[in-house]
Amino acid sequence: MNQISLLSVDGVRISYYLPNRTIRAVNGVSFEIMSNEVFGLVGESGSGKSTLSMGILRLISPPGKVDTGTIYYKDQNILLLGDEEFRQLRWKDLAYIPQGSMGALNPVMKVRDQFYDVEWDHNGSKSRKEIDERIMDLLTKVHLAANILDKYPHELSGGMKQRVCIALSMYLEPKIIIADEPTSALDVITQRAVIATLLEARQRLKASMILIGHDMAIQAQVADRIAIMYNGYIVEIGKTKDIFNDPLHLYSQHLISSVPSIQHKQNIHEIALAGLKRSTSLRQTDIPKLTEVKPGHFAAI
């Protein structure tokens, strides 16, 4: 399967300019999203991963600012596009499922109307009948019953809202879906259903997906390649299997060993001490540039 590069992020730096200090949220980050892949963006709070996704979608507003860098999509630097041009891109090519299912859904509109909204905002050409057929098709794909169409978002559970968001994001058949922590605040069983739905959706569309999160276990299950962020930098990037088999950066090792095992009892004391040592080390060292340590496997060491 030949993959082409869909999105090329190069040297992006995003900062927040506050009255008494400047926060460098994203510190010169570069990576590529290939076609037909699930790309995981992993980091804990403060790593810059959400800011980065906001940057790609041009949703950064003052006091935040994209300082430098380019983001190329289809031979165009999307950071330089006009507002209207980019608005067309957003949702048609780049879909976004925000963190916390509250985000994308309009609380005072029924679900059905939200789909109509997407259609008329971007195309406006299809007939009601065509739209309805398409909606039903999408709902089946996300395993939701037709009766949810006449409900308001607050009448749906967290898992159902997320699946509606997935269906909405799929509506215009985007090339890239950015899912930001799609399962936070969902219980484990619903989480699995939502992730399964996301993967199915992506596969059908043959789209790529950027899955942003802090849970390495989920990434292991779904991502083809992973980029690990720490303090605004990417510290490791490579195929999922490569990273789990041989995590090169200290922080990657830290994240992986932080996932407690459901299969056997571990020595918590040793894990805790090792974790403390790693945290102290991490705080003290600088983060060098990424180098290709093994084919396709880069680390900032």
Q: By C-beta, is 81 or 271 nearer to another protein?
A: 271
User: Would you call 163 helix, strand, or coil by DSSP?
Assistant: helix
Report how many helices (DSSP H) and strands (DSSP E) the chain contains, helices first: 10, 12
Judged by CB under 8 A, the stretch of 81-89, 97-105, 272-280, 287-295 that binds another protein is 272-280
DSSP assignment letter at 57: T
Q: Which stretch binds another protein (CB under 8 A): 101-109, 114-122, 194-202, 203-211?
A: 194-202
Q: Does position 45 bind another protein by CB under 8 A?
A: yes
**Alpha carbon distance, N-terminus to C-terminus of the chain:** 31
Lateral strand order in the sheet of 233-239: 94-97, 176-180, 208-213, 38-42, 225-230, 233-239, 297-299, 291-294
Nearest approach, Cβ of 197 to another protein (angstroms)?
8
Stretches 51-59, 87-95, 131-139, 184-192: which one binds another protein (CB under 8 A)? 184-192
Amino acid at site 185: A
The stretch near another protein (CB under 8 A) out of 9-17, 29-37, 108-116, 156-164 is 156-164
Consecutive H or E run containing 193: helix 188-205
> Could you give the CA distance from residue 184 to residue 41 in angstroms, rounded to a whole number?
15
Using rule CB under 8 A, residue 184 touches another protein:
no
Please give the Cα distance from 36 to 1 (Å, whole number): 9
Residue type, 191: Q
The correct pick among 240, 247, 252, 297 for binding another protein (CB under 8 A) is 240
105 binds another protein (CB under 8 A): no
- Does residue number 136 form part of the binding site for another protein (CB under 8 A)? no
Q: Which is nearer to another protein, 128 or 265 (CB)?
A: 265
The alpha carbon of residue 192 and the mean position of all alpha carbons in its chain are separated, in whole angstroms, by 17
Q: Which of 113, 133, 187, 292 binds another protein (CB under 8 A)?
A: 187
Distance CA 284, CA 301 (A): 14
Looking at the Cβ atoms of 28 and 275, the one nearer to another protein is 275
Each residue 60-99 as x (binds another protein by CB under 8 A) or -, in order, gives ----------------------------------------
Return d(Cα 72, Cα 9) in angstroms, integer.
6
Residues making contact with another protein (CB under 8 A): 44-45, 143, 157, 159-160, 187-193, 195-197, 214-218, 220-221, 240-241, 244, 254-256, 258-263, 265-266, 268-269, 271-272, 275-276, 278-279
